[in-house]
Structure formats: C-alpha cells, structure tokens
Chain A
Amino acid sequence: EPEVTQTPSHQVTQMGQEVILRCVPISNHLYFYWYRQILGQKVEFLVSFYNNEISEKSEIFDDQFSVERPDGSNFTLKIRSTKLEDSAMYFCASSPSTDTQYFGPGTRLTVL
C-alpha cells in the first residue's frame, strides 16, 4: 500500500538555523499538507498546497515558513530561522481529493 514518507525522522538544529523537512506524498495525490504537533499537544494545521500554490495557511505559518514542490515527487517545508518553540513533530499529509488525508510518520524537530 502506498505511503507518505518523510525525511529525516529526527532533525536537531541550533536556534536561528534554517531547516528543510522533506516529504514524498503518495504519487497520484493532488493535495498536500503540513501539520505540527508539539509534544503532548494536539495536531495543528500549518498549510495546504494544491496546483503548485498555497491554498490555505494558518496563523502559525508566518514568514519564517515556506513550502515548495521542487519536482514531481517531493514536498518540502522550510523554516528559515528556527526558534526554540518550533520544536515539534512535523507531519506531512497528502490526499487525492479534498477529503481523506494520509499522514506520513513525521519528522521530530529539536531546536537547541
């Protein structure tokens, strides 16, 4: 069964550094999403992406964040200057339509 994959599984970075989290969505899916989950808290929507552009974004997704689909398979989330409070699990999801989303295993980001 096709799955969403994410790399790396764990990223450790220094505050102020840039990080890029990578996702490979399921191949025939058209909608892509990023979420984050701070330890012990609920999953929070960051951004949705369709037709090579952002379709929706939350208040969390400020100018420090950006997304890109650099080729036909990857979907990336970039955080330009990481803060301590960016430490969280980041989940990528994809869907063939606007409904059911399939989540990847997540990248644990630790900002020191």
Chain B
Amino acid sequence: GESVGLHLPTLSVQEGDNSIINCAYSNSASDYFIWYKQESGKGPQFIIDIRSNMDKRQGQRVTVLLNKTVKHLSLQIAATQPGDSAVYFCAENNRAGGSYIPTFGRGTSLIVHP
C-alpha cells in the first residue's frame, strides 16, 4: 500500500481481477479525500472523493473506503481492465481559508495484465 511521502509501490493484477490500493494519511484534521489516476504523460484525473463524515462511497466500478480511526483510505477497482493501468494516488485535503489545499501521496503504480 501507499503512505503519503513513501516510495512508489507497484500492484500487478490480471485483467478481470479486483484491485485494492491503499493509502495512509497523516493529518487527523483532514476532512476531504480524493483519489486520482495519473496516466503516463498526463495530469491527475479525479476518480472519486469522500468526506470525513462517510466511511464508504461507490462510483462506477470504484469504491473508496475511509477509516478515520487508523487514518487509512483504500480504493477498490472492480473487474480491473488494461485501461486502468496508471499511477493512483490519494490526496488529503485541509480547508485553509476558503479552499481545500491537497497534500498528495506519491502513488501506487497499477499494472493490469491482459
């Protein structure tokens, strides 16, 4: 799994498998979390977000789980496809002034084998 600031881990899965990518965040005051996908040579792409008053949120093929007790986030991707291959990173957000300022992790590289 990933922790904000640590080395980039890699997760290899077979097409059709479910993938789980983990993230540990550092600030217990963070109240908004986002998962991003970054393909090679591209900017981060929003996948799904969750607020601290929730512990689970589902999107299309993706689910984010939040455990505030241990400051842990996970991203679950169902039926992983080759197009899901990318670096995934979480961002914890703290509201400073009027807008959220994100702190990003370095990411987990997901490799999907056909």
Binding site for B on A (CB under 8 A): 4, 31, 40-45, 48, 50, 55-56, 58, 91, 93, 98-106
Give chain B nearest CB distance to A110 CB in angstroms. Answer: 15
Judge whether A98 and B95 touch: CB under 8 Å: yes
Judge whether A106 and B98 touch: CB under 8 Å: no
Judge whether A45 and B106 touch: CB under 8 Å: no
Judge whether B89 and A31 touch: CB under 8 Å: no
Judge whether A98 and B44 touch: CB under 8 Å: no
Which of B34, B89, B98, B103 touches A98 (beta carbons < 8 Å)? B98
- The secondary-structure label for the interface of chain B is strand
Complex formed: what's the CA distance from A104 to B41 in Å?
A: 11
Set of chain A residues within 8 Å of B41, measured between Cβ atoms? 105-106
Judge whether B99 and A48 touch: CB under 8 Å: yes
Give chain A nearest CB distance to B4 CB in angstroms. Answer: 8
Complex formed: what's the CA distance from A42 to B36 in Å?
A: 12
Which of B4, B5, B32, B106 touches A99 (beta carbons < 8 Å)? B32
Complex formed: what's the CA distance from A105 to B99 in Å?
A: 22
Contact with A along B1-42 (1 / 0, CB 8 A): 000110010000000000000000000000010101000011
Give chain B nearest CB distance to A51 CB in angstroms. Answer: 9
Cβ-based interface call for B79 (8 A): no
Cβ-based interface call for B43 (8 A): yes
Complex formed: what's the CA distance from A56 to B99 in Å?
A: 8
